Amino acid sequence: MTAFTLIVPGALDQFTGGYLFDRHVVDGLRANGRAVAVIELPGEFPGADETASAAAAAALAGLPSGHTVVIDGLALPAFTECLDAHTGRLSIVAFVHHPLSLETGLSAHAAQVYALIERRLWPMMRGLLCPSSHTAAAIIATGVPADRVRVTPPGTRVPAAAATEALQPVASRPLQLLAVGTVTQRKGHLQLIEALSRLQELDWHLTCIGSLTRDPSCARALRDAIRVHGLDRRVTLAGEVSAQHLDAAYREADVFALASHHEGYGMVYAEALAFHLPIVATSAGAIPATVAADTALLVGPGDILALREALRQVLTDVALRQRLAAGAARAAQDLSDWPTAVHRWARALDGLTGGLADGLADGPTDGLTA
């Protein structure tokens, strides 16, 4: 089986969808006997300060000729000055979770800079791996040939059967809303709070699970909005939690709600489906492809009035919640588990680099599928 090195920005054990995907790939392939090395780059990302750029150059220079390298897309700006010096001797693939230029909250200038970096570096790659057809289309639209792009969706944690059983309604218990995602502008927590602030006559409680430290200014703005709207007792900011606590939160929830401005795939939406939760979300990015129409109410990103009405519907209509939950249960049957997803990811990598991994080369690898 062909060995490779995965290069990630910062520590691999961070709790975001991209890092979780990376970690499942590393752990899953190592468990199957494949040699996978990991280089964790120091410095600031995605801005790529001098420390990050120097570490990126050193990482590539230290790898032997002919070696396969996978660079997490979040780290790509650090390779702006050094990548072209190594494309002839290394087999380099990018793992693009979503284009950096589509990150919410960027200035027009910053978005343009990231777009230019990606347009310059992507064509230098042996190929690109991405989690959804939506992200693949964005890459191909820049001129990268379609036969050098592979779609490899992430897996979904499969909960125990008992964990998907809905809790019995309790008359005195508010309806439990759950949002899972790092508190950044892209995840739309502020829009969710704004919509819910206009539904205070209804009996609900929102729990937000996800890092409050990756974007401190966004977390401060979220806390301020909760305070200004008088929602301190109705919104819990839980921060990062263990997998066990996360599973418990999914099981206790009545509705999953998140107002993302963009998603390259949306792993937490798939997790909500796995727990048979009705979903209120936006139609941004790859969400409609992840979340089927009979599982969710989708509104335009940033449309707070539409979001408020969708939340009102799902909070007040028991039959609607039951229909959406039934749709989620059906959709959950089509979700891949992590071993399957990692198998497909490795097969896609080998298809791009010409590697032959035992048991991983079966089936087609051309075009946009893994």
Structure confidence by residue, pLDDT tens digits, 148-198:
999 999 999 878 664 555 555 555 789 999 999 999 999 999 999 999 999
Q: Is residue 360 part of a domain?
A: no
Structure tokens at 61: 């220079």
305-340 per-position pLDDT tens digit: 999 999 999 999 999 999 999 999 999 999 999 999
**Which of 76, 96, 264, 281 is closest to 177 using CA atoms?**
281
CA angle, 122 then 123 then 126, to 5°: 90
Q: Is residue 366 part of a domain?
A: no
Q: Check residue 9 and give its pLDDT.
A: 97
Kindly state whether residues 141 and 253 are assigned to the same domain: no
Q: Is residue 33 part of a domain?
A: yes
Kindly state whether residues 285 and 167 are assigned to the same domain: yes
Kindly state whether residues 141 and 194 are assigned to the same domain: no
Residue 368's pLDDT band, with cuts at 50, 70 and 90, is very low
| Pairing relationship of beta strands 149-151 and 175-180 according to DSSP bridges | unpaired
Q: Is residue 319 part of a domain?
A: yes
Kindly state whether residues 318 and 345 are assigned to the same domain: no
Structural domain including 46 reads: 4-155+337-353
Kindly state whether residues 183 and 212 are assigned to the same domain: yes
Tell me how many domains the chain contains: 2
Distance CA 288, CA 312 (A): 21
CATH of the domain at 40: 3.40.50.2000
Q: Check residue 365 and give its pLDDT.
A: 34
**C-alpha 92: how far from its chain's center?**
22
Q: Check residue 145 and give its pLDDT.
A: 97
What pTM does this model have?
A: 0.88
Kindly state whether residues 166 and 148 are assigned to the same domain: no
Q: Is residue 370 part of a domain?
A: no
- Give the list of residues 6+ apart from residue 218 with CB closer than 8 angstroms, or none: 105, 183, 184, 185, 189, 190
- Give the list of residues 6+ apart from residue 324 with CB closer than 8 angstroms, or none: 278, 279, 294, 295, 296, 297, 314
Over residues 264-281, mean pLDDT: 96
Kindly state whether residues 230 and 279 are assigned to the same domain: yes
